[in-house]
Every structure is written in structure tokens, then in C-alpha cells.
């Protein structure tokens, strides 16, 4: 199965923020949308970075409560790894595990198509496994 199937199932909506917004605003977006990371986009839809719960906690640890009034661009992760809709779920799972990423933007030919999380990847893999088990069960019992 490929990343495109995940995007098709969950949709292509991407919650984003601009670099000049505050960390408090980013935290509110995370809370309101029940997500763990927000893409930081410039006006032309280009990916400038990503800000995650981990980035916010690091900023709070370093700067205390004043961190919340700092700009997103001061604490965001600037080097954003992305995946392609043609990448397999196994490939993406490997990247996420090895690099300790929980979120990856999906980009095709320079265009942002969506964002996937480790939860999306695990759900897709569980669905695939369940289908495999049911197929094998039907084959073994002669109902397939």
C-alpha cells in the first residue's frame, strides 16, 4: 500500500501557520485540531518548517513562560523531511522510526498534498494486516 491511499482516506487538509505567528498561537492550533504538529508555510505555500509539541516543550524548557510570545520561526524545525504519495507504508514507517519523526508532509512535484502522522501509518498497516488475515482465513476454510 502507498501513502496516496492514506491521503485519499484521511483527506488532504493541512493545518498550517506562518512563521511570524506566536508559539501560543501554534499551541492553540495543535489543541483545537487535536494534532501533534503544524506545518509552517510561507505566503506562497512553500514549507518553511514544522512546529511540533516537542519543539514547544523545548522552547518552554529553555525560555520559560516567555517562550509562548516568541515567533514560531524561532523554535520550529527547519529541515523538514517529506514523503511522496508513491512511497510505500513500509518505507514511510521505516523513515519515521529511524529518524524519530511523527509527522511527514506529503509532497509531489513540489506541491503539498497533505500530511501523514505515525498514527495514520499504523492504522493503514493494521487495516492491511486485517485484510490479509481475513483473506487467509477464507482460503483456509474454503470460503475464499
Sign of CA dihedral 133, 135, 137, 139: negative
Cα distances from 102 to residues 66, 70, 81, 135, 144, in angstroms, run 26, 24, 11, 31, 37
**pLDDT tens digit string along 92-104?**
999 999 999 899 9
What are the cell numbers at 93? 514507517
pTM of the complete model: 0.83
- Return the DSSP state at 131: H
Q: What is the pLDDT of residue 95?
A: 93
pLDDT one-digit tens code per residue, 66-91: 999 999 999 999 999 999 999 999 99
Neighbour tally for 35: CB within 10 Å:
16
Query: Which residues in the chain land under pLDDT 50?
Result: none
pLDDT of residue 129: 78
Residues 6 or more apart whose Cβ sits within 8 Å of residue 39: 14, 15, 16, 17, 47, 49, 50, 80, 105, 112, 115
CB 56, CB 26: distance < 8 Å: yes
User: Structural domains in the chain?
Assistant: 3-140 (3.10.580.10)
Question: CA–CA distance from 34 to each of 28, 29, 89 (Å)?
Answer: 10, 8, 23
Amino acid at each position: 500500500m502507498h501513502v496516496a491511499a492514506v491521503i485519499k482516506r484521511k483527506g488532504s487538509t493541512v493545518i498550517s501557520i506562518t512563521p511570524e505567528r506566536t508559539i501560543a498561537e501554534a499551541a492553540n492550533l495543535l489543541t483545537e485540531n487535536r494534532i501533534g504538529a503544524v506545518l509552517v508555510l510561507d505566503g506562497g505555500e512553500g514549507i518553511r518548517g514544522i512546529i511540533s509539541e516537542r519543539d514547544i516543550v523545548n522552547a518552554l524548557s529553555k525560555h520559560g513562560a516567555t517562550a509562548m510570545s516568541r515567533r514560531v520561526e524561532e523554535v520550529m524545525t527547519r529541515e523538514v523531511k517529506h514523503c511522496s504519495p508513491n512511497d510505500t507504508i513500509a518505507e514511510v514507517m521505516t523513515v519515521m522510526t529511524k529518524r524519530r519523526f511523527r509527522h511527514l508532509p506529503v509532497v509531489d512535484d513540489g506541491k503539498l498534498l497533505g500530511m501523514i502522522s505515525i498514527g495514520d501509518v499504523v492504522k493503514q498497516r493494521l487495516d492491511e494486516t486485517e485484510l490479509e488475515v481475513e483473506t487467509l482465513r477464507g482460503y483456509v476454510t474454503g470460503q475464499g
